[in-house]
Amino acid sequence: MGAEDLWNDMLNEFRALGGVAENVRLGHGPFGRGLFAIDPKKPVSISIPENLLVSLKDIYFENDVFRIHPRSPVSARGQAFLVQYEQDFAWGVARQEVERFLSAMSELPEQVQEFATRRLGLGRFFVPIAPGLAHKWFFGTRGIRSGNGNVVMPIVEIANHGGSADYISGAGISLSGRFEDEVLVRYTTPSDPYGILMGWMFAPKEPTAFSIEISGAYGGRDFQIKREFEDKRVPFVPEVSVEEGRVVISYLLLGHRQFPRVPKGAFRKALGSLKLDDLDEIYDVIQFTNRNGFLELLELLQGLDSPAASVLRTLAINQLAALSEHYGVRAV
């Protein structure tokens, strides 16, 4: 059976179980394997019903084969579909990519690993490769929040990151819209190259940049900057609190392609009530700390030719580009 026949047979069973998949095909493009519109003049519509969303808590592996626990409320036919789908289109064909990525990261020079962990918070990529680690990474990148927990979403998880479309959750998970060619979806909002790498193992160009998690003394006060995005549509101005004398910022926008004057204005607005001396200098030092970290990473990667070095080099370049999307100031 050819790949196209396998795809069409899978979609037929998906539809028989209540799913919707209109005007969509499997293909390869600049981002690798992905979803594409069959007819760009018509809308693409994909909808996964709740009865095909299996909780991450209800999946396990038997000799590296995807399985669903009997306690799952998904029907026997639904479970059979999902197991076959994972074998033919997801875990069964993509697991080696995850394993290669993690293996390549573990082979980077110790100096690079130590710096990336200490300065940039990338330590999760350098843990010892143990049984089950690839499972955790793979399904961690393909799960989505639905109801009270994270679930595995078939078919739409093949769509690559980009564009402006979002997943729509409610009675199931859906993805729809008009696409000239490849079906792209925002994996997360807000996002920057660093955040995408942390969640999905690649670092694309993004229009915004946020500070990495850092702690330090700026302007005579201790600061802790986090990356806590409670809502997909976060405001420019973060939440700020003072905890035992330390200024804690929930997140910090440092670059915005569309509104380059906003980052510093948002920083002034967020911290204005604290009556700190020279807020602009504090902001500039935090900007410098972020830029310097990625510049030092680039320096450490000089002369290294490996897939992992290429990923980290792309991260540094794209994060630096996003960090540069700021100048001047605008009141917020």
- d(C-alpha 279, C-alpha 276), whole Å: 6
The pLDDT of 212-239, averaged and rounded, is 89
Using N-to-C axis directions, what is the helix angle for 307-323 and 110-120, rounded to 10°? 30
Q: Is 328 helix (H, G, I), strand (E, B) or coil?
A: coil
Token pair for 31 = 């981002």
Token pair for 141 = 């990148």
pLDDT-based confidence at residue 15 (cuts at 50, 70, 90): very high
Ordered strands of the 221-225 beta sheet: 214-218, 221-225, 246-249, 240-243
Residue range 279-312, pLDDT digits in tens = 999 999 999 999 999 999 999 999 999 999 999 9
- d(C-alpha 10, C-alpha 121), whole Å: 40
Strand partners, 34: 27
- d(C-alpha 258, C-alpha 239), whole Å: 22
Three-state helix/strand/coil letters over 250-278: CCCEEEECCCCCHHHHHHHHHHHHHCCCC
pLDDT at residue number 235: 85
pLDDT at residue number 88: 95
The pLDDT of 104-131, averaged and rounded, is 93
pLDDT higher than threshold 70 for residue 123: yes
pLDDT at residue number 64: 86
The pLDDT of 43-55, averaged and rounded, is 95
Q: Which residue has the higher pLDDT, 321 or 144?
A: 321
The pLDDT of 214-242, averaged and rounded, is 89
The pLDDT of 8-37, averaged and rounded, is 96
Placement of tokens 């080099």 in the chain: 313
Name the residue type at position 106. S
- DSSP string over 32-87: EEEEEESSTTS-EEEEE-GGG-EEGGGEEEETTEEEE-TTSSS-HHHHHHHHHHHH
Q: Is 225 helix (H, G, I), strand (E, B) or coil?
A: strand
The pLDDT of 98-121, averaged and rounded, is 95
pLDDT higher than threshold 70 for residue 148: no
> Parallel, antiparallel, or unpaired: how do β-strands 208-210 and 221-225 relate?
unpaired
Token pair for 169 = 């959750």
- d(C-alpha 62, C-alpha 42), whole Å: 41
Residue range 183-215, pLDDT digits in tens = 999 998 888 999 999 999 999 999 999 999 999
The residues, ordered by sequence, that sit 6+ positions from 126 with a Cβ below 8 Å of its Cβ are: 105, 106, 108, 113, 116, 117
pLDDT-based confidence at residue 325 (cuts at 50, 70, 90): very high
Q: Is 189 helix (H, G, I), strand (E, B) or coil?
A: coil
Q: Which residue has the higher pLDDT, 93 or 113?
A: 113
Residue 255's nearest CA partner among 244, 243, 246, 264 is: 264
Strand partners, 185: 161
Strand partners, 24: 37
Ordered strands of the 168-170 beta sheet: 20-22, 44-48, 172-177, 168-170
Residue range 255-274, pLDDT digits in tens = 999 999 999 999 999 999 99
Q: Which of 12-26, 60-74, 123-137 has the highest mean pLDDT?
A: 12-26
pLDDT higher than threshold 70 for residue 237: yes
Q: Which residue has the higher pLDDT, 26 or 94?
A: 26
Token pair for 178 = 């008009």
pLDDT at residue number 3: 80
Average pLDDT, the chain: 93
pLDDT higher than threshold 80 for residue 247: yes
pLDDT higher than threshold 80 for residue 98: yes
Q: Which residue has the higher pLDDT, 188 or 140?
A: 188
pLDDT-based confidence at residue 232 (cuts at 50, 70, 90): low
